[in-house]
Amino acid sequence: RKEVEQDPGPFNVPEGATVAFNCTYSNSASQSFFWYRQDCRKEPKLLMSVYSSGNEDGRFTAQLNRASQYISLLIRDSKLSDSATYLCVGSRSNDYKLSFGAGTTVTVRA
Amino acid sequence: NAGVTQTPKFRVLKTGQSMTLLCAQDMNHEYMYWYRQDPGMGLRLIHYSVGEGTTAKGEVPDGYNVSRLKKQNFLLGLESAAPSQTSVYFCASTRRGASYEQYFGPGTRLTVT
């Protein structure tokens, strides 16, 4: 079983809508979590970090629930440019490596 | 500042052929990584390096070798290509202490027939 599991989607939403999706992790040793964004046929890029207290960056809100071992990402007021695959990523303390989920695809339509 | 670059961008190989993928970064990063990305599988780590002259195996190292003779370059070799190695290969780098923020190259699309 992969350390980080995601619903692949796709989530098809109209512009202006709110979309939210989760990923679950199986390794309780994972200390830190992040969301990366990957546009079609492009390289992944760091979107934001995830904290237990919640982390907001503009229209994006990320949350970590350690008790239930899941991470969430919420996008408010969706834009066409938000269409992408969102990768959930886990990291263990003092480790050089990251564990990537397979990604959740979001398509925002006009 | 080019960031992370990869050569070549595309390649088609026949089964049994060999090739080397080159990754170069100009950010003076200590850590470098090679991943492969397949549909539904996400990014899987092949090999990584935490410094010049050092390499280590990742999740899926079989069939690949790597070398890091210079800090800015990380080479991925396929000695005898197999169709199962058809994939998109990404190189990434990051600075020491910030392994969460990896900077990726544009990828190499490899097809093995």
Q: Do A102 and B105 touch (CB under 8 A)?
A: no
- pLDDT recorded at residue B13: 97
pLDDT number for residue A1: 67
- The dihedral built from the CA positions of residue A31, A34, A38 and A44, taken in this order, carries a sign that is negative
Chain A: closest CA distance from residue B16 (Å): 27
Structure confidence by residue, pLDDT tens digits, A70-102: 999 999 999 999 999 999 999 887 778 899 999
Q: How far is the C-alpha of A17 from the C-alpha of A109, rounded, in Å?
A: 10
Q: Measured between CB atoms, which of A32, A44, A95 is closest to B104? A: A44
Q: How far apart are CA B33 and CA B91, in angstroms?
A: 6
pLDDT at A26: 87
Higher pLDDT, A30 or B93: B93
Please give the span between the terminal C-alpha atoms of chain A, in angstroms, as a whole number: 37
Q: What is the pLDDT of residues A58-77, one digit of tens each?
A: 999 999 998 889 999 999 99
Please give the residue of chain A at the shortest CA–CA distance from B39. A102
Please give the Cα distance from B33 to B13 (Å, whole number). Answer: 23
Collect all residues with Cβ–Cβ distance below 8 Å to A102 and sequence separation of at least 6: A2, A5, A6, A8, A87, B40, B41, B42
Q: How does DSSP assign chain A, residue by residue?
A: --SEEE----EEEETT--EEEEEEE--TTEEEEEEEEE-TTS-EEEEEEE-TT-EEETTEEEEEETTTTEEEEEE-S--GGG-EEEEEEEEETT-S-EEE---EEEEEE-
CA pair distance A101, A87, nearest whole angstrom: 6
The proportion of chain B whose per-residue pLDDT surpasses 90, expressed as a percent, equals 89
Distance from CA of B41 to the nearest CA of A (A): 5
